[in-house]
Structure 1
């Protein structure tokens, strides 16, 4: 009788594995239930603007490929949005903000600030950090109790801007807020991924418009995030 029960259990497990392997929909459902869930909060750089086939080559997409099926990475980038509530397009008002929390993340990657460097958005380090702390508190308060990673914004290369472009980002402000984010990470004892420092030596990845990285730049950001996650899990 025991041998028969073991045989039945073995056949049942084989059947379940067969269904998972042969059914992409079931595989996705299993992944959603058991994988470590990662949300990528950010602006157009996270979204993958200007990158051809962003669903494959944006930094969140490349991060998914690097981490594998044990993780489920979701892109919540919103083009043109700021971290500051006083900005012209606050991330707080974008549907991605609510949706990123509804995803019940285990890990939250925050890379905002590039659009905050515009003259009409920048109100100073103090107000920027105030809103940043509130954003951290929001994600920390989720039922899933996610691990938070801060990411400094990518470097800005105004010398690469085309004459007809409409960007107004300020390089010195990007430097200032990047330093502030690193200090905030130390205060909050949160890991910081210093995208700003690593991208500043790669202007060749920003020839599209001086602001948005190409697929190589996105891969670099994904690699930095992947290494940070693996080191802190």
Structure 2
């Protein structure tokens, strides 16, 4: 008798997609999560590098940032009608494009200006998931810390401002669980935290990706 596999959809940005980890997808966090969960589960990697939760159109018709909900892989993730959704966004919402230019800053790249809307941006993603599968269990994940990033627009102080929004979202929704990759990384004591990162100070390396997968795996097992 065939037993249906539980479908796990990983939504997110470059950290989910596996940016900088080479062509060996087995080291990307969703692949490691598949390994940990075993054959009873099917894990889908629907991460898109550069994407953000913020989904705002300016009065001139231009779009702020690179909104994940406007991308094909987002629609693919919804179409899976997963049993479990893991949503880890925010790293690209925590950037201030004013650091990219000395003058004439482009409002489309200043995502920190839209921080007050972050809960609503995530809520719209949650609502889309519910429309596809109202019974899906949703995990909202606080992303990894931002270290001394080579791109000055990315700074931890901007991510800090987003953290209360994750708590607000989870408190407002049923069948939703908050996990924190941020806390898992910050509690890492074996070596300096930098050993879990690529040289850019933003993207976790293979060891960091495994820690993300293990953190999410532990969260899933505690709630099943």
> How many residue pairs were aligned?
198
Find the partner of 1:101 among 78, 81, 91.
78
Structure 2: state its 5+ residue gaps.
57-63, 97-109
Find the partner of 2:90 among 90, 113, 116.
113
Per the alignment, residue 9 of structure 2 pairs with 39
Instruction: Name the SS of the counterpart of 1:74 in structure 2.
Output: strand
Per the alignment, residue 195 of structure 2 pairs with 204
Instruction: Name the SS of the counterpart of 2:34 in structure 1.
Output: helix
TM-score normalised by L of structure 2: 0.82
Structure 1: state its 5+ residue gaps.
1-12, 14-29
Aligned counterparts, 1:11-26, within 5 A: none
More helix by share: 1
Q: Which portions of structure 1, spanning 4 or more consecutive aligned residues, are displaced by more than 4 angstroms?
A: none
TM superposition shift of 1:180: 2.2
TM superposition shift of 1:40: 0.2
Instruction: Name the SS of the counterpart of 1:117 in structure 2.
Output: coil
Aligned counterparts, 1:44-193, within 5 A: 44-86=14-56, 87-119=64-96, 120-143=110-133, 145-158=135-148, 161=149, 165-166=150-151, 168-189=153-174, 190-193=176-179
User: Which structure has the bigger radius of gyration?
Assistant: 1
Per the alignment, residue 195 of structure 1 pairs with 181
Aligned mates of 1:208, 1:182 — CA distance in 2:
30
Aligned mates of 2:215, 2:185 — CA distance in 1:
11
Superposition RMSD in Å = 1.8
